[in-house]
Amino acid sequence: MYDQENLIVDRSEHFALLFGAFSMGIIVLIFALRGQRNRIFEENMFKQRILLSQIFDMYMVRTESLRIRQKQLEAHRHVLEHGRVE
pLDDT in tens, 2-27: 455 555 556 777 778 888 888 888 88
pLDDT value for 12:
75
Residue 9's DSSP bridge partners are: 2
d(CA 34, CA 10): 36
pLDDT in tens, 33-43: 887 888 888 88
pLDDT value for 6:
55
- Do the Cβ atoms of 69 and 77 come closer than 8 Å? no
**Average pLDDT of the chain, as a whole number:** 83
**Global pTM?**
0.48
Find the domain containing 66 and state its range.
Answer: 2-82
Nearest to 28, CA basis, from 36, 39, 16: 36
Nearest to 69, CA basis, from 79, 61, 58, 81: 61
Phi, then psi, of 6 in degrees rounded to 5: -105, -5
Total structural domains within the chain: 1
